[in-house]
Amino acid sequence: MLLRLLTLPLSAPIAGIRYCLEKVAEVAEREMWDEEPVREQLILENEAFEEGRIDEPTFREREAELLTRLREIKAHRIEAARAEAEEQAGAAVDEKRRVVIEIPDELG
């Protein structure tokens, strides 16, 4: 306990920095797998093509890239949901398999 108090001036800022970095990583992960910006970009590319600001080959190339990205995002979400379901199922299985052995006081 005394050691924790003595190292507090060093450990507290480190813990704060670690917390901030974890939060930044969470936000970056969420944004990386958010499909809304990709959908918005797809709409903007479609508008640019319809208005004649980009030609058809350029539009088709960009559209293919964005649709590929949407498929990657959906595949990631499916995989994440599957992993979470397996994790929850594993926890449920572990709970069902718990064995409790009680030893009588005379033997203990």
- pLDDT tens across 53-71, in order? 999 999 999 999 999 999 9
Q: Domain of 62?
A: 35-95
- Within-domain flag for 65: yes
What's the helix, strand, coil split of the chain in %, to 5?
A: 80, 0, 20
Q: Is the pLDDT confidence value at 100 over 70?
A: no
pLDDT of 6: 73
Q: Is the pLDDT confidence value at 79 over 70?
A: yes
Task: Pick the more confident residue, 49 or 88.
Answer: 49
Residue 97, helix vs strand vs coil: coil
The single residue listed with the structure tokens 């970056």 is 28
For residue 99, name the pLDDT band (cuts at 50, 70, 90).
low
Q: pLDDT tens across 5-54, in order?
A: 777 777 778 888 888 999 999 999 999 999 999 999 999 999 999 999 99
- Within-domain flag for 108: no
Residue 29, helix vs strand vs coil: helix
- Within-domain flag for 39: yes
| Domain total in the chain | 1
The single residue listed with the structure tokens 């924790």 is 4
- Within-domain flag for 88: yes
The count of other CB atoms within 10 Å of the CB of residue 65 is 14
Query: What are the start-end ranges of the E strands in the chain?
Result: none
pLDDT of 36: 94
